[in-house]
Amino acid sequence: MKNLIKTSLLLSMVLGTMHSAQAKDHVLSTITNDDDKNIYIMGLKTDDQTEAVTKIYKKELDGKGKLLNKIEFTPGQLEAGVSIVKRSGRDVVNLKASNVDVNYGGDIAMKTLVNALKKDFKTYDLKVEKNGEKWQMLFDNKVAKKLHFTTNKKFLIGTVGIKNVQLKK
């Protein structure tokens, strides 16, 4: 009987610890482009108990939904700046946050490489905010469930960057 009580106590402690470490997943935006059929998903994870953001992630899926790549970073790393897309050794899409609050959100500057030949960049203003129990990303002050990246292509060279980012309905 003592062993059963000890086992039950140990099991409930382990399960309690596992429950407190669980995270809830929030998809912020699905991103497509005109260069390939891959789909990119931006999202975040929150602690189940505190509802605070613990991780931000970007997943890359092929056209059939198979996971190709996933990167995760903390809100602190996002404040320092992270590269979420690299091609040929170059940072193509960078994110850098300011005014971050893990309970309410923050402002994000998304810097995209427009032309690798000229080293031109363009910055877009994003915002991540909590709306009730849901998290959302804003682009041009509109909810951005879907974004589309248009590539910048040059004759005989190919893709040299991202020409434009648009809200997609």
For the chain, the farthest-separated pair of C-alpha atoms sits apart, in whole angstroms, at 79
Alpha-carbon gap, residue 95 to 27, rounded angstroms:
17
Cα angle at 39 between 36 and 40, to 5 degrees?
Answer: 120
Residue 129: Cβ within 10 Å count: 15
Q: Is the pLDDT of residue 12 over 70?
A: no
Q: pLDDT per residue over 60-95, tens digit each?
A: 999 999 999 999 999 999 999 999 999 989 999 999
Q: pLDDT grade, residue 21 (50/70/90)?
A: low
Query: What pairing do the DSSP bridges indicate for beta strands 134-139 and 23-33?
Result: unpaired
How many C-alpha atoms does 99 have within 13 Å on its Cβ side? 11
Q: Is the pLDDT of residue 4 over 80?
A: no
Q: pLDDT per residue over 30-61, tens digit each?
A: 999 999 999 999 999 999 999 999 999 999 99
Q: Is the pLDDT of residue 19 over 90?
A: no
Q: Is the pLDDT of residue 166 over 50?
A: yes
Q: Please tell me the pTM assigned to this model.
A: 0.83
Q: How far is CA 123 from CA 69, 77, 126, in A?
A: 24, 19, 10
Query: What pairing do the DSSP bridges indicate for beta strands 23-33 and 146-154?
Result: parallel
Structure tokens at 67: 């996971």
Q: Is the pLDDT of residue 168 over 90?
A: yes
Alpha-carbon gap, residue 159 to 32, rounded angstroms:
16
Share the mean pLDDT of the chain.
88
Alpha-carbon gap, residue 42 to 72, rounded angstroms:
10
Q: How far is CA 99 from CA 92, 103, 112, 124, 132, in A?
A: 24, 12, 21, 16, 19
Report CA 148 to chain centroid distance, whole Å.
15
